[in-house]
Chain A
Amino acid sequence: MRNRRILLISFLVIFTHQVRAQKEVTENLDFERIIENLLPSQEYDLDYNDLYDRLFTLYSNPLDLNTLVRADLQALFFLSEEQITGIIDYRLKYGKFISVYELTTIDGFDLETAQRLIPFVVVELNKRASFRRNLERPDNHEVFIRYQTVLEQKKGYTSPDTTSSGKINSRYAGDPNRLYARYLYSKSGEYSFGFTVEKDPGEKLIWDPNTSRYGLDYYSFHAMIENRWIFKKIIIGDFNMDYGQGLVFGSGFRIGKGFEPVTTVRRNNMGLRPYRSVYENKDFSGAAFSTNLKSFEFNGFYSFVRRDAIIREDSYDDRDHFISYIQTVGLHRTASEINAKHQLSDQSIGGNINYKSRNQKLEIGLNGLFTNYNVPLIPNTKKYNQFDFVGVSNHLGGMYFNYHLKNIHAFGEMAISKSSGKAISTGIIASLSSQVQASVHYRNYGKEYHSFYGNAFGENSKIGNEQGIYWGLKILPVPKLIVSFYYDYFMFPWLKYRVNAPSDGHDIMAAATYAYSRKLNFRFQYRQKAKDLNNKIKNEPLVRIETQTTKRVLFDMKYDLDDHFSLKTRLQWSDVDFAGLNSNGFIIAQDLNYKHARYALSARFALFDTDDYDSRQYIYERDLLYVYSIPSFYDKGVRYYLVGKYVVSRSLSFWLKFSQTKYSSRESIGSGLEEINGDTKSNIGFQMRVRI
Chain B
Amino acid sequence: MKVIATILLVFFLKAEILYSQTTDYNIGARSKGVGNSNSNIADEWSIFNNVGGISGVENGTVFFSYDRYYGIDGFNKVAVGAIQPIKWGNIGASVVRFGDELYNEQIASAAFGNKIGFVRLGLRVNYFQMRIEDFGTAGAMFFDLGGIVELIPKFSFAAYISNFTLSELNNTEKTKLPVVMKAGISYKPIETLSLYFDIYKDVDFDPVFKAGIEYVIHKVYLRTGLNTNPFKSFFGLGIDLGRFNIGYAISTHEYLGTSHQASVSFTYHKKQ
Contact = CB atoms under 8 A, between A and B. Distances in A.
B233 A436 contact: no
A489 B187 contact: no
A432 B224 contact: no
A489 B192 contact: no
B231 A506 contact: yes
A436 B189 contact: yes
Contacts of B224: 440, 471
Given A432-B193, A489-B254, A473 B213 contact: yes
Contact of B193 (A433, A487, A506): A433
Nearest to B217: A406
A506 B217 CA distance: 31
A473 B37 CA distance: 16
A475 B195 contact: yes
Contact of A435 (B189, B215, B226, B228): B189
Interface footprint category on A: 20 to 34
Contact of B233 (A433, A475, A485, A489): A489
Contacts of B195: 436, 473, 475
Which of A440, A471, A473, A475 gathers the greatest number of chain B CB atoms within 10 Å? A471
A430 B215 CA distance: 10
Contact of B192 (A433, A435, A438, A440): A433
A72 interface: no
B241 to A, nearest CB: 22
B231 A436 contact: no
Interface in B214-262: 215, 217, 224, 226, 228, 231, 233, 254
A337 interface: no
A489 B255 CA distance: 13
Contacts of A432: 192-193, 213, 215
A430 B192 CA distance: 13
Contacts of B190: 433, 435
A477 interface: yes
Interface residues of B, number: 17
Given A433-B192, A489-B231, A477 B213 contact: no
Contacts of A487: 211, 226, 228
B126 to A, nearest CB: 33
Contacts of A485: 211
Interface in A487-518: 487, 489, 491, 504, 506, 508
Contacts of A434: 189
Contacts of B187: 475, 477
A461 B187 CA distance: 37
B36 to A, nearest CB: 15
A204 to B, nearest CB: 52
Is chain A's interface secondary structure helix, strand, loop, or mixed overall? strand
B160 to A, nearest CB: 23
B84 to A, nearest CB: 34
A441 B242 CA distance: 32
B171 to A, nearest CB: 38
Contacts of B154: 477
A102 B254 CA distance: 49
B254 A433 contact: no
A469 interface: yes
A289 to B, nearest CB: 41
B226 A471 contact: yes
A438 B224 CA distance: 10
Given A471-B226, A475-B195, A487-B226, A433 B189 contact: yes
Contact of A438 (B213, B228, B233): B213
Contacts of B215: 430, 432
Nearest to A504: B254
A491 B233 CA distance: 14
Contacts of A435: 189-190
A28 to B, nearest CB: 37
Contacts of A433: 189-190, 192-193
Nearest to B212: A471
Contacts of B231: 489, 506
A671 B189 CA distance: 55
A480 to B, nearest CB: 16
Interface in B158-211: 187, 189-190, 192-193, 195, 211
A363 to B, nearest CB: 22
Contact of A436 (B193, B211, B228, B254): B193
Contacts of B228: 487, 506, 508
Contacts of A508: 228
A649 B78 CA distance: 78
B35 to A, nearest CB: 10
A438 B222 CA distance: 12
A471 B231 CA distance: 13
Contacts of B193: 432-433, 436
Interface string B129-161: 000000000000000000000000010000000
Contacts of A471: 211, 224, 226
A690 to B, nearest CB: 51
Nearest to B190: A433
Contacts of A491: 254
Contacts of A475: 187, 189, 195
Given A438-B213, A489-B231, A506-B231, A477 B189 contact: yes
Nearest to B35: A471
Nearest to A440: B224
A511 to B, nearest CB: 15
Interface string A416-451: 000000000000001011111010100000000000
Which of A432, A433, A435, A436 gathers the greatest number of chain B CB atoms within 10 Å? A432
B150 to A, nearest CB: 16
Contacts of A469: 233
A433 B215 CA distance: 10
B90 to A, nearest CB: 30
A678 B123 CA distance: 71
A406 B217 CA distance: 10
Contacts of B213: 432, 438, 473
A475 B197 CA distance: 13
A489 B254 CA distance: 9
A198 B101 CA distance: 76
A80 to B, nearest CB: 13
A491 B195 CA distance: 27
Contacts of B226: 471, 487, 489
A628 B193 CA distance: 39
Contacts of A440: 224
Contacts of A430: 215
Contacts of B189: 433-436, 475, 477
Nearest to A487: B226
A448 B220 CA distance: 39
A270 B192 CA distance: 33
Nearest to B189: A435
A276 B154 CA distance: 49
Contacts of B192: 432-433
A435 B192 CA distance: 12
A537 to B, nearest CB: 25
Contacts of A406: 217
A504 B190 CA distance: 37
A91 B189 CA distance: 28
B263 to A, nearest CB: 22
Contacts of A506: 228, 231
Given A430-B215, A432-B215, 17 more contacts: A432-B192, A432-B213, A433-B192, A433-B193, A436-B189, A469-B233, A471-B211, A475-B189, A477-B187, A477-B189, A485-B211, A489-B231, A489-B233, A491-B254, A504-B254, A506-B231, A508-B228
| Nearest 4 pairs of A and B residues by beta carbon | A435-B189, A433-B190, A432-B193, A433-B189
16 contacts: A433-B189, A433-B190, A435-B189, A436-B189, A438-B213, A469-B233, A473-B211, A475-B189, A475-B195, A477-B187, A477-B189, A485-B211, A487-B226, A489-B226, A489-B231, A489-B254
Interface of A: 406, 430, 432-436, 438, 440, 469, 471, 473, 475, 477, 485, 487, 489, 491, 504, 506, 508
